[in-house]
Amino acid sequence: MSRIAVVTGGTRGIGRAICESLRDDGMTVVANYAGNEEKAKAFTAETGIAAYKFDVGTHEEALEGCAKIASDVGPIDVVVNNAGITRDGTLMKMSYDDWHDVMRVNLGGCFNMAKACFEGMKDRKFGRIVNIGSINGQAGQYGQVNYAAAKSGIHGFTKALAQEGARFGITVNAIAPGYIDTDMVAAVPEPVLEKIVAKIPVGRLGHAEEIARAVSFLSSEKAAFVTGSTMSINGGQHMY
């Protein structure tokens, strides 16, 4: 039986690598995206993976988007909450909108997608939810009170929902990527990024595929005993 997986923010960066990895595992994969239609079309043309446009940070849109996927493709077995944005700036310069947008999309998106899919997973006695957190949610990061708070929230959300899902065959885990060579990290000013890379023991940025491999493992049938865990994949930058 081919499991159906939805990857939010799945047409670019880490999300795209996750889509491709789950597809290679034999799953039927659907990507979600919010903004860049052109890139989404190119993604579907290149990978054969369907892309559905909705804003995971808007409750009704996420519910409707998942309902549409379920009616077009089938019931959703695996959700990868990968969609995320940054609005970096020190607290003094950060607007309320910068705070709220990041909380709404990065953390609110996890809640909205879980609300949309958890009950069906419970009824079918199988589910895999993988939430993409961040090293910056574990360790904090100058200029990211919004992002660090949202990602830290994801780690708490994961542990709470894992307890609720366990008896229904639903596992809920998180991955905390370090700095990965995506557009998001490329937007960090060069001199700042150089200092960050200098602190990574492995001596380089990570690759999206290195995150995707772990998502594949956590989404697999055989990872049934792994729940409530956070896997840090950061080149040794943060150990605890």
Which positions are annotated as active-site residues?
Answer: 147
Residue nearer to ligand CAA on the CB measure, 141 or 220: 141
Is the Cβ of residue 77 or residue 88 nearer to ligand CAA in the bound state?
Answer: 88
* Residue number with CB closer to ligand CAA (1 or 239): 239
Q: Residue 33 in contact with residue 10, Cβ under 8 Å?
A: yes
Q: Residue 205 is which amino acid? A: L
For the sheet with 78-81, list strands across it. Answer: 50-53, 28-33, 4-7, 78-81, 127-132, 170-177, 230-233
CB of 92 vs ligand CAA, minimal distance in Å: 9
Shortest approach of ligand CAA to residue 38 CB, angstroms? 23
The minimum distance between CB 136 and ligand CAA, in angstroms, equals: 5
67, 32 Cβ separation under 8 angstroms: no
* Site residues, ligand CAA (CB under 6 A): 86, 88-90, 93, 134-136, 141-144, 147, 177, 179, 184-185, 188-189, 192
Cα gap 238→131, rounded to integer Å: 19
Q: Which of 142, 149, 137 is nearest to 99 (CA)?
A: 149
| Shortest Å distance, C-beta 148 to ligand CAA | 9
CA dihedral 80, 85, 89, 95 (to 10 degrees): -110
Q: Which of 25/181 has CB closer to ligand CAA?
A: 181
